Structure 1
Amino acid sequence: MSHSSLVKLRTGLEISQFGLGTATFGGLYTSITDEDAVSTVNTALSSGITYIDTAPHYGKGSGERRLAKALAGKSGFHLSTKIGRLLVPAVNSLDPDFADTDTNVVREFDYSADGVERSIRESLERLEMDYVDIVYIHDPDDPVYTEQSIKEAYPALEKMRDKGFIKAIGVGMNQSAVPTRFVNETDIDVVLIAGRYTLLDQGAAKDLLPAALARGVDIIAAGVLNSGILANPVAEATFDYAPASPEILRKVLRIKEIINSYGISLISAALQFPLRHPSVKAVLVGCRSSQEVIDNTDAFDVSIPEQAWEDLARSHLDS
């Protein structure tokens, strides 16, 4: 398995099966510099990574602006961003999750047709792009937002696609039930599913993945380390952005024991696992430095024997 191998999505777009997530460019939990962002992107592109994801949510626009600086003058990449949170003027608006946030704006959920068009145009301005390859409807978890996204946001995205501002339409969420509705009720191209099809949590295998396979919808798996525990399963590890329970930690340590017996690291197995499902075309992994890109792609490229996966399956640890 190679991180730079290209996969073709149903729209004809070809992306690397290892994509670069850039929530870190908004200073997710820890601040980074513009130079960090540039070196991260440079290393990713030079290693053959061609897919990069961002969102207005990341640092309230600062993530997109940083990415624009990092991509200036470069080619050979495909980019996705998201709609659902408009950025409106404010004064001294801090953010506990993003250290490098824009303090002059606040987020407002908006899945209306007008909100979609405004969000895309503002993202393109921040990114200094004429178009983006994929736009995801981001986190329409509230039932009101779900209905509005299906009835208003999705048709608005179709119009933006017809105008040439985007090439593919997706939905990006941390749950599988609502994306499954999109797969069944719209002609969506791709789903970005975070944390619900991993070595530790395969909730999406019950609804989203079979629906996507039946309808020919592509899946990109994000959050494959479940917010850190599948990278470093220690007592203070987090699972789904909260302290991991003793039960979860024990399960991860057992997975680690099995995979380590083959001389394979836990992170290698975690990065590769989602791609074993035929509907999953790529994984999206957040990196905040050049070294993290190198470490994660090296881990992704490790060959894992089929016997190791079979042993995990027999132990009912990945089901």
Structure 2
Amino acid sequence: MRTLGRSDVRVSPLGFGAAGISNLFSAIGEEQAYDTVHTAWRHGIRYFDTAPHYGLGLSERRLGAALRDFPRADCTVSTKVGRRLEPSDAGGDDLGHGFAVPATHRRVWDFSADGVRRSLEASLERLGLDRVDVVYLHDPDDHAEQAFREGYPALEKLRAEGVVGAIGAGMNQAEMLTRFVRETDVDVVLCAGRYTLLDQGAAAELLPAAVERGVSVVVGGAFNSGLLADPKPTATYDYTRAPAEVLDRALRMNEAAARHGTTLRAAALAFCAAHPAVASVLVGVRSADEARDCAEQFEAQVPAAFWRELRDTGLLPAEEPS
């Protein structure tokens, strides 16, 4: 277990991203979601991340129900604020946002102090918990002014009150997260998709700044939404069809992994975990088999010769740790 920044919150090196159990792209049953969480637990995962955005609250409800079978003190739970859920009678489904659930609610962007507290209270109710360990400002890309002026101070106050143990921001970009690291007193930032075998954008400024400031980084999107888990022409990269050049790089990495007796999945996870700023790597899984495989791949040893080949062939920058 690793401690987040200067907080007392500890996370497992491999974390559980709970978007997948909230019908991301296609529906899964309650039993499958339950089994997925339980399998992750049996394989040592103790950090679980969710958000109201995922399945319009379904992720929080399913995760909370599954975690009730385990001692609360033994697991770390994070959720996010910034999108409040309001009831809607519009009908239809939520596939426009990527989730196969009825559109019973609508998302309302709100990084105000009141919105932060209201969102967290609703999350606790859905989770069935009296507290969460970590709260992130979720995707404040287009709401920077309110997030820094109102949302962040609200989280700082919640931390001071002991309502949450650690605070931070979670985004799919590195630039604004670097600003959070340098200009605020966050404990952790969640960076999705910007520090992977295919995209080292976070390495330029975010990760060095985090090390310098003593802020932890949680890396999400280690597989870049699928391409690094199973590279093929139909695979997605950042939730869209992979560009030809990126697909070619992934296929070449996959061939190198096979030559060295490892897998691209193991290498993708190992790469994310190797940087000294990184406290945990989140994987999004939707089945017991996927949870088991990710845990096993995370524990696998990736041969040094594999990393040398990637650097020698220009597939990986020479300065990146692994």
Q: Structure 2-normalised TM-score?
A: 0.94
Task: Work out whether residues 62 and 102 of structure 1, in 8 Å CA contact, stay in contact via their aligned partners in 2.
Answer: no
Task: Work out whether residues 17 and 48 of structure 2, in 8 Å CA contact, stay in contact via their aligned partners in 1.
Answer: yes
Q: Residue type of the partner of 2:3?
A: K
2:87 to 82, 89, 97: 89
Equivalent residue runs for 1:140-219 within 5 Å: 140-142=140-142, 145-219=143-217
Is 1:312 aligned to residue 310 of structure 2?
Answer: yes
1:137 counterpart SS class:
strand
Moved more, 27-36 or 97-106: 97-106
Deviations, residues 155-183 of structure 1 (Å, cap 9, x unaligned)? 10111122332110011000000100100
Task: Work out whether residues 130 and 165 of structure 1, in 8 Å CA contact, stay in contact via their aligned partners in 2.
Answer: no
Is 1:69 aligned to residue 65 of structure 2?
Answer: yes
Task: Work out whether residues 181 and 209 of structure 2, in 8 Å CA contact, stay in contact via their aligned partners in 1.
Answer: yes
Q: Residue type of the partner of 1:235?
A: P
Whole-angstrom distance in 2 between the partners of 1:99 and 1:212: 33
Following superposition, the deviation at residue 13 of structure 1 comes to 2.1
Task: Work out whether residues 131 and 164 of structure 1, in 8 Å CA contact, stay in contact via their aligned partners in 2.
Answer: no
1:249 counterpart SS class:
helix
Following superposition, the deviation at residue 309 of structure 1 comes to 1.5
Is 1:9 aligned to residue 4 of structure 2?
Answer: yes
Whole-angstrom distance in 2 between the partners of 1:239 and 1:73: 35
2:185 counterpart SS class:
coil
Whole-angstrom distance in 2 between the partners of 1:141 and 1:250: 30
Following superposition, the deviation at residue 99 of structure 1 comes to 4.1
Task: Work out whether residues 42 and 70 of structure 1, in 8 Å CA contact, stay in contact via their aligned partners in 2.
Answer: yes
Tell me which residue corresponds to 1:3: none
Whole-angstrom distance in 1 between the partners of 2:3 and 2:287: 27
Tell me which residue corresponds to 2:320: none
Q: Residue type of the partner of 1:31?
A: A
Equivalent residue runs for 1:228-307 within 5 Å: 228-307=226-305
Task: State the superposition RMSD in angstroms.
Answer: 1.3
Tell me which residue corresponds to 1:56: 52
Is 1:30 aligned to residue 26 of structure 2?
Answer: yes
Whole-angstrom distance in 1 between the partners of 2:251 and 2:56: 36
Q: Residue type of the partner of 1:19?
A: G
Is 1:133 aligned to residue 133 of structure 2?
Answer: yes
In the superposition, relative to structure 1, how do residues 236 and 178 fare at CA in structure 2: closer, same or farther (>3 Å)? same
1:61 counterpart SS class:
helix
Task: Work out whether residues 312 and 318 of structure 1, in 8 Å CA contact, stay in contact via their aligned partners in 2.
Answer: yes
Task: Work out whether residues 22 and 286 of structure 1, in 8 Å CA contact, stay in contact via their aligned partners in 2.
Answer: yes
Whole-angstrom distance in 2 between the partners of 1:233 and 1:100: 25
Percent of paired sites with the same residue:
48
Following superposition, the deviation at residue 310 of structure 1 comes to 2.3
Q: How many residues align?
A: 312
1:260 counterpart SS class:
helix
Whole-angstrom distance in 1 between the partners of 2:52 and 2:197: 29
Q: Structure 1-normalised TM-score?
A: 0.95
Whole-angstrom distance in 1 between the partners of 2:227 and 2:29: 26
Following superposition, the deviation at residue 261 of structure 1 comes to 1.4
1:135 counterpart SS class:
strand
Moved more, 95-104 or 273-282: 95-104
Is 1:78 aligned to residue 76 of structure 2?
Answer: yes
Task: Work out whether residues 45 and 77 of structure 1, in 8 Å CA contact, stay in contact via their aligned partners in 2.
Answer: no
Task: Work out whether residues 93 and 105 of structure 1, in 8 Å CA contact, stay in contact via their aligned partners in 2.
Answer: no
Whole-angstrom distance in 2 between the partners of 1:51 and 1:154: 23
Following superposition, the deviation at residue 98 of structure 1 comes to 4.3
Deviations, residues 126-168 of structure 1 (Å, cap 9, x unaligned)? 10111101001000111xx112111110110111122332110
Task: Work out whether residues 254 and 263 of structure 2, in 8 Å CA contact, stay in contact via their aligned partners in 1.
Answer: yes
Could you tell me which runs of 5 or more consecutive residues in structure 1 were left unpaired when the two chains were aligned: 1-5
Following superposition, the deviation at residue 267 of structure 1 comes to 0.8
Q: Residue type of the partner of 2:288?
A: S
Moved more, 50-59 or 301-310: 301-310
1:231 counterpart SS class:
coil
Could you tell me which runs of 5 or more consecutive residues in structure 2 were left unpaired when the two chains were aligned: 318-322
Whole-angstrom distance in 1 between the partners of 2:64 and 2:303: 40
Whole-angstrom distance in 2 between the partners of 1:69 and 1:248: 39
Task: Work out whether residues 88 and 108 of structure 1, in 8 Å CA contact, stay in contact via their aligned partners in 2.
Answer: yes
Q: Residue type of the partner of 2:191?
A: I
Task: Work out whether residues 62 and 100 of structure 1, in 8 Å CA contact, stay in contact via their aligned partners in 2.
Answer: no
Tell me which residue corresponds to 2:14: 18
Following superposition, the deviation at residue 61 of structure 1 comes to 0.7
